[in-house]
Amino acid sequence: MPVEEIVKTLVIILVVVGALAPVITWIERKQSALMQDRIGANRADVAGITILGLLHPLADVVKLLTKEDVVPEGANRVLHLLAPLIAAIPAVIAFGVIPYGGVYTFGDRTISLVVADPDWGMLYIFAIASIATYGTVIAGWSSNNNWSLLGGIRASAQMISYEVAMGLSLVGIFMVFQTLSLQEMALAQDRSFAFFGIHWLRLPAWGVFYQPLAFVLFLTCIMAENKRPPFDIPEGESEIIAGYHLEYSGMRFGLFFMSEFIQVVVIAGLMTAVFLGGWTIPYLSTDDIIRGVGSVYGTGFATGICLLLQFGSFMVKVLFMIWFQMALRWTLPRFRYDQVMDLCWKIILPLSIANILVTGFAMLLLREGGA
């Protein structure tokens, strides 16, 4: 593997897994506390210094590492130990095709801020999401516990059902951008368009403005895939105690816990790349930045500034989507099992198909009108 790919992979691991995922546990505690008029995490300290509760993620890791790792009697030991890894690893490698910056040229060297940019990037995301399902189902079955088995069955039904609707909800976006590559989708959004032909009313060419219904449908489906409230029926504490990870303790439980929070970051990055312009800055294209700054400080310096600004733009949008997911998580009550299935098959799936038909009809009209 070339050095550049290794560096980009390390950035993803260190930023997503090493930094954002632990901090998100603190964000969730603090955000839920603010929404419920509480103080939130503020007890963990070093020499009396609490740093607004930021030491709690570190305390969680220490606690999980030092807890006894128990394998229940009668469980399939090998699968019981492998299931957390099968659930956690896809959450990390899914970020490999999400671009956190554009393509930049420094002299004769070109840098692309994405680990891999295959033409079928979105298909890769769908495939990786399918693999994570196995970890959840295996965890429920291998634990030799009826409640865990019920949680695994619920998870398999929910995740497989929503994968169908999730794929169909994005077909409209594929039709608009004419690509499955996330980097090319972001590049296509690095401009603006006249809203209903009104030249003085221009909007960023973001996917959310082209496909607002797809934005809502896809976000709903991918949050259901992550099994977080209000779609946490595989864990349903009030019904099946803790669901598929009931018999897990120590750091193996921590892997399930961590995988959900890593997927929150992946969801935020994916929504940003597809619907929120990716790394682009509204009304300020890459050419505008390089031309404006380069006229004074030179092209190389301007390209470096552009890289930093666009990476910052991507991170701001990701943080917004993380906040938005947390807000939904602490606002909506948990659905019943039948409600989750009805939402998928009776509402989201028909709307996804209707969105495809309407998008195709609109594109046909625009093509004929342009001709």
CB 116 within 8 A of CB 168: no
- Tell me if 54 is assigned to some domain: no
pLDDT of residue 371: 47
pLDDT in tens, 162-179: 988 999 999 999 999 999
HSE-CB for 82 with a 13 A CA cutoff: 9
CB 72 within 8 A of CB 145: yes
pLDDT of residue 171: 93
Q: What percent of the chain has pLDDT over 90?
A: 24
54 has a pLDDT exceeding 70:
yes
pLDDT-derived band at 111 (thresholds 50, 70, 90) equals: confident
- Tell me if 62 is assigned to some domain: no
pLDDT-derived band at 69 (thresholds 50, 70, 90) equals: confident
- Tell me if 291 is assigned to some domain: yes
Q: What is the mean pLDDT of residues 134-163?
A: 86
Sign of the dihedral through C-alpha 243, 246, 249, 252: negative
The whole-chain average pLDDT of the chain stands at 85
Domain that holds residue 272: 70-370
Q: How is residue 254 written in tokens?
A: 């921590």
- Tell me if 194 is assigned to some domain: yes
- Tell me if 235 is assigned to some domain: yes
- Tell me if 219 is assigned to some domain: yes
pLDDT in tens, 305-355: 998 999 999 999 999 999 899 888 888 888 888 898 999 999 999 999 999
The separation between CA 298 and the C-alpha centre of its own chain, rounded to angstroms, equals 37
pLDDT of residue 219: 94
Phi and psi of 291, rounded to 5°? -65, -45
Q: What is the mean pLDDT of residues 159-164?
A: 87
Q: How is residue 211 written in tokens?
A: 């496909």
More confident: 353 or 132: 353
Q: What is the mean pLDDT of residues 46-69?
A: 80
Assign 331 to helix, strand or coil: coil
Highest-confidence segment of 73-77, 114-118, 264-268: 264-268
Q: 206: alpha, beta or left, given left = phi > 0 and alpha = psi -120 to 50?
A: beta
More confident: 8 or 144: 144
Q: 37: alpha, beta or left, given left = phi > 0 and alpha = psi -120 to 50?
A: left
- Tell me if 43 is assigned to some domain: no
Ordered DSSP codes for 151-203: HHHHHHHHHHHHHHHHHHHTHHHHHHHT-S-HHHHHHHTSSEEEETTEEEEEE
Q: What is the mean pLDDT of residues 198-211?
A: 86
Give me the number of domains the chain comprises.
1
Nearest alpha carbon to residue 263 among 95, 53, 118, 108: 95
Maximum alpha-carbon separation in the chain = 72
Burial class (CB in 10 A: 0-12, 13-18, 19+), 2: exposed
Q: Is the pTM of this model over 0.85?
A: yes
Q: At 48, which amino acid appears? A: G
pLDDT in tens, 300-319: 888 889 989 999 999 999 99
- Tell me if 53 is assigned to some domain: no
Determine the Cα–Cα distance for residues 80 and 71; give it in Å rounded to an integer: 8
253 has a pLDDT exceeding 90:
no
